[in-house]
Amino acid sequence: MNLKNISGTAYFLISIFLIYFLLLLFKTDLFLSSINFFYNIFLKIIPIFILVFILMTLTNYFITPKFIIKHLEKKRIKKWFYAIVGGILSTGPIYMWYPLLADLKNKGLNYGLISCFLYNRAIKIPLLPLIIFYFSLKYVIILGVVMIFMSVVQGIIINKLLD
C-alpha cells in the first residue's frame, strides 16, 4: 500500500486512535474520563439525531424541485414563506441549487426570494442538536428568528436595488 493513496481524513482518524491508545496506556484515568464524556454526550444527542434523520428523509422524499416551483408561484406572502422553508430544508451542496434557482428566475421568481432562499440555507437542521448542546435552545430560537427576519429584509432590499 502506497502512503500517497491515504487521505488526510484517514491520517486524522489514525492519529486520534493513536492518541487514545497512548492515553489508555499512560493515563488511564484521563482515557476513561474522555470515554465517559463522549458516552454522556452521545446519549443526550442520539434521540435528536434520529429525529433529524427522519425529518431529512421525509423532506428529501416529499420536497422535490417540482414541489418548490409549484409553491413559489403562490401569492406574495406565501412565496416568502416557501422561500424561507425551502432554504432551511434544502440539503446538498449549494452549487447544485443554482440551476434550479436560475430556472425559477427565468419563470418569474425575483432576486429577493432567491436571496431569501440562499440566506436561509445557513439554518441547518442536522446541526441544530450540536448548536443547542453548546449554546442553549433559547439562543438557537432567537438566532433562527433573527436570521429568518433578516433574510426577508435582505430580500426586500435586493428587490428594491435590482428593480
How does DSSP classify residue 64? -
Q: Count the residues in the chain.
A: 163
Q: Which amino acid is at 160?
A: K
123: which 3 cell numbers? 439554518
- Distance (Å, whole) CA 100 – CA 95: 10
* Cβ-contact 100, 135 below 8 angstroms: no
Consecutive 10-residue averages of pLDDT for the chain (163 residues)? 73 91 92 92 82 74 70 75 86 80 80 92 86 90 95 94 86
pLDDT recorded at residue 53: 76
| C-alpha to C-alpha distances, 52 to 41, 48, 60, 96, 153, nearest whole angstrom | 16, 6, 12, 22, 28
pLDDT recorded at residue 73: 66
> Phi/psi zone of residue 91: left (φ > 0), alpha (ψ -120 to 50 degrees), beta?
beta
- Listed by start position, the domains of the chain span 1-62, 64-163
pLDDT recorded at residue 3: 63
Closest alpha carbon to 122 in 160, 94, 163, 99: 94
Closest alpha carbon to 113 in 91, 144, 81: 81
pLDDT recorded at residue 17: 92
